[in-house]
Amino acid sequence: MQIETYIIAIGLLIGWIATAFFLIKASKKAYARGFDHGVNLAREQHASSPVCSIADHELMTKITTSLGLAVETWQAFPGTEIMVAKVNKQRRQLTAFAAKMWLAAYPAPLNTEDAA
């Protein structure tokens, strides 16, 4: 090989290494900037809004009602006992989850008159 070939190969190798170095450096900087922005945004949203809004609770209640209708429909068909049991379990879990979210967002105030 001639010396020009070695010079070109070494130049390409140095260029690839420099490109990789600066791409890694830029991606780390962009990730850190985006991650910090995402964390700050999440903190602001968490502090400014309740965990569960009334619309969220109504949606979960409507889904629970729809699951109840599905169970009543499937009970009429033979061979759907497994699906009926599964949907009943999911319906109970969703109802409990909706109640838990509602209580987390809007805890019941303690009434001192009832405690006495």
The pLDDT tens digits of the residues spanning 2-18 come to 999 999 999 999 999 99
Q: CA angle, 42 as apex, 38 and 47 as ends, to 5°?
A: 150
pLDDT of 43 > 80? The answer is no
Mean pLDDT of all residues in 45-68:
78
- Which stretch of 67-71, 82-86, 94-98, 111-115 has the lowest confidence by average pLDDT? 111-115
pLDDT at position 13 is: 95
Q: What is the mean pLDDT of the chain?
A: 82
Higher local confidence (pLDDT), 24 or 49 = 24
Residue 47 tokens, joined: 């502090």
pLDDT at position 6 is: 93
pLDDT at position 21 is: 94
Domain ranges of the chain: 1-49, 51-107
Higher local confidence (pLDDT), 3 or 40 = 3
CA 102 to CA 54: how far, in whole Å? 8
CA 23 to centroid of chain Cα atoms: 30
CA 111 to centroid of chain Cα atoms: 36
Residue 12 tokens, joined: 């390409």
Higher local confidence (pLDDT), 76 or 40 = 76
Instruction: Please say whether the beta carbons of 59 and 95 come within 8 A.
Output: no
